Amino acid sequence: MSALTENAAPAPFTDEEFRDTLRELPPSAKLVAKVLEDDAPLSQGDLAESSLLPDRTVRYALNRLEESGLVDSRYSFTDARKQVYFLTV
4 domain residue, yes or no: no
3 state DSSP class of 86? strand
3 state DSSP class of 63? helix
pLDDT digits (tens, 9 = 90+) for 12-41: 778 888 899 999 999 999 999 999 999 889
Q: Which CATH number covers residue 34?
A: 1.10.10.10
6 domain residue, yes or no: no
Q: Which of 69, 68, 82, 28 is nearest to 50 (CA)?
A: 28
Can you give the residue range of the structural domain that contains 81? 15-87
Considering its fold, how many domains does the chain have in total?
A: 1
Residue 1: is its pLDDT beyond 70? no
23 domain residue, yes or no: yes
Q: Which residues pair with 71 in a beta bridge?
A: 87
77 domain residue, yes or no: yes
Distance CA 76, CA 43 (A): 8
